[in-house]
A and B are shown apart, each in its own frame.
Chain A
């Protein structure tokens, strides 16, 4: 079935360690997004990519890094520079850049990765 797969579902990390969260989609979507969600809160945009080999910072990019070497994959690295990394991370994709005219703007989400820093 087509969809977005995030892994791992749960991840524990010691302070000072980098960790990479995987996001893979087989929907043939051009655009992909990473969000962070804290308990009882909404989603905050970390990074987004409108096309392969290109990405832009979102609202809370500090302490995070991404790459977009393949259309299907958009991994997120949570670096040791991120002060409060414990959170629920969601990846999403859309057919094309969500801001483009004529695009309905529908996002397709993965099931999330919960990162806990010990």
Chain B
């Protein structure tokens, strides 16, 4: 099993600020994915970054990948109250998840 471990466990910021959460994993990967879970809902796929990519953008999301350090980060810029959710990383190709980062964005 090679589930990712997210850090911090919880993050609270003000609307408009940037939110950064990190993911560490243990073995080599082909890609890494980030998911979002709103309270009481299923997980939704946000973004995939391949092992030969160092950075990827999607709207207000920026994902980085450092395969030498076996780590990834997810940056949400100009956060909104609607970004309040839990965020999970998923190193390929594993079906297991860590505890996630619970992000709270205060209006």
Which of A's residues lie within 8 Å of B, judged by CB?
A: 4, 33, 35, 40-43, 45, 48, 58-59, 88, 90, 92, 98-101, 103-112, 114
Contacts and interface: CB of A to CB of B under 8 A. Distances in A.
B48 interface: yes
Contacts of B98: 42
B42 A109 contact: yes
A29 B94 CA distance: 17
Q: For the complex, would chain B's binding face be called helix, strand, loop or mixed by DSSP majority?
A: loop
Contacts of B90: 105, 107
Contacts of A106: 33, 45, 48
B95 A109 contact: no
* Residue of A41, A90, A104, A110 contacting most chain B CB atoms (<10 Å): A104
B102 to A, nearest CB: 7
* Residue of B30, B94, B95, B98 contacting most chain A CB atoms (<10 Å): B95
A19 B105 CA distance: 37
A80 to B, nearest CB: 26
Interface of B: 30-31, 33, 35, 40-45, 48, 88, 90, 92-100, 102
Given A99-B94, A103-B93, A106-B45, A42 B100 contact: yes
* Residue of B42, B90, B97 contacting most chain A CB atoms (<10 Å): B42
A105 B96 contact: no
Contacts, number: 65
B99 A100 contact: no
Contacts of B40: 88, 112, 114
A108 B43 CA distance: 8
B18 to A, nearest CB: 24
Contact of B43 (A45, A109, A114): A109
Contacts of B92: 103-105
14 contacts: A42-B100, A43-B88, A43-B96, A59-B96, A92-B42, A99-B94, A100-B93, A104-B33, A105-B92, A109-B44, A111-B41, A112-B40, A112-B42, A114-B40
Contacts of B93: 98-101, 103, 105
